[in-house]
């Protein structure tokens, strides 16, 4: 009889260990920079359209100040997951 060896493959890491490794990997350039900047640009662009048609005078600059303040707060809140 010709016996063929059977190779049994065992996974080196369980699925839970792989997930923990992915979570430990940390932030990527896309998550930390690109996505927040695109969202910020979208908010500023939308406000520019609204300001051109509805807002006048000081309210235009107040709108930009509110967008920058809220965006910075949300960005720092988002980064706190990775920093602490």
| DSSP-derived secondary structure letter, 57 | T
**How far apart are alpha carbons 22 and 70 in whole angstroms?**
30
pTM: 0.64
| The pLDDT value given to residue 30 | 87
| Mean pLDDT for all residues in the chain | 81
| The pLDDT value given to residue 31 | 85
Question: What 3-state DSSP class applies to 2?
Answer: coil
Return the number of other C-beta atoms located less than 10 Å from residue 19's C-beta.
11
Mean pLDDT of 14-21: 60
């Amino acid at each position: 009889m010709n016996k063929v060896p059977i190779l049994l493959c065992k996974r080196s890491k369980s699925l839970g260990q792989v997930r923990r490794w992915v979570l430990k990997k940390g932030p990527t350039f896309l998550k930390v920079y690109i996505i927040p900047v695109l969202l910020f640009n979208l908010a500023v662009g939308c406000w520019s359209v609204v300001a051109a048609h509805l807002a006048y005078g000081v309210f235009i600059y107040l709108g930009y100040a509110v967008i920058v303040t809220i965006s910075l707060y949300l960005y720092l809140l988002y980064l706190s997951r990775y920093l602490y």
